[in-house]
């Protein structure tokens, strides 16, 4: 996917159900289980185990000198001891497509199966952007996540019901507003003819 266009169906904020992203999102599958039949999709709640989360950024020291850095959020993978060896750096649970995580990670996990491992490099525009998070994530930092999908929980019937109910209510509201607007226009046109 490096340097290619990525299309994600059904992502929130997309005008026609698709969002076209031209980016340098780099997704590498580092391990794929033999049985990979059930994959993640928008609306699924997933649990990820991440071993590495780093931020690649550069700092301009002077007009002619720029230094590059790779800052690790979790250094356990570098300095392992008997107590920390084999322990995950962290677990992350979120619903795909709800913008609970940065957009690049939201896109990068679609199509994964349980047990699959990926390394995802996310450019600033799909991570924390030009500003970053002051004191935590540098401005214009490229993020890198090394992840393993631990669990997929599909969207429940209750979630589907609420989503469908919201859509139906929105359609009914729009239809009612249009009908009311048409009635007001008819009243104005009818009032002008009688005068």
Residues 16 and 105 in one domain: yes
Q: How many domains does the chain have?
A: 2
Residues 116 and 34 in one domain: yes
C-alpha torsion 54→60→61→63, nearest 10: 160
Residues 45 and 136 in one domain: yes
Distance CA 179, CA 171 (A): 12
Q: How large a percentage of the chain has pLDDT more than 90? A: 34
pTM for the model: 0.60
Residues 161 and 148 in one domain: no
What does the block give as tokens for 11? Answer: 């992502």
CATH of the domain at 89: 3.10.50.40
N residues, the chain: 195
Please check the confidence at residue 148 and state whether its pLDDT lies above 80. Answer: yes
Dump pLDDT digits (tens) for 17-41: 334 454 568 899 999 999 999 999 9
CB 11 within 8 A of CB 18: yes
Provide the pLDDT confidence category of residue 5 given band limits of 50, 70 and 90.
very low
What does the block give as tokens for 75? Answer: 């250094």
CB 51 within 8 A of CB 73: no
Residues 9 and 95 in one domain: yes
């Amino acid at each position: 996917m490096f340097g290619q266009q990525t299309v994600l169906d059904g992502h929130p904020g997309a005008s026609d159900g698709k969002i076209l992203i031209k980016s340098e999102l780099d997704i590498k599958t580092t391990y794929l289980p033999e049985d990979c039949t059930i994959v993640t999709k928008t609306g699924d709640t997933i649990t990820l185990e991440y071993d590495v989360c780093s931020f690649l950024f550069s700092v301009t020291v002077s007009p002619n000198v720029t230094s590059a850095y790779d800052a690790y959020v979790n250094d356990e993978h570098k300095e392992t001891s008997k107590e920390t060896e084999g322990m995950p750096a962290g677990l992350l649970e979120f619903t795909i497509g709800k913008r609970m995580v940065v957009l690049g990670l939201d896109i990068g996990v679609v199509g994964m199966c349980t047990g699959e491992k990926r390394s995802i490099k996310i450019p600033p525009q799909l991570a924390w952007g030009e500003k970053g998070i002051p004191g935590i994530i540098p401005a214009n930092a490229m993020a890198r996540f090394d992840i393993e999908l631990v669990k997929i929980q599909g969207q429940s019937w209750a979630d589907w019901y609420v989503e469908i109910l919201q859509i139906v209510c929105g359609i009914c509201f729009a239809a009612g507003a249009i009908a009311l607007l048409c009635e007001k226009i008819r009243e104005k046109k009818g009032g002008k003819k009688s005068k």
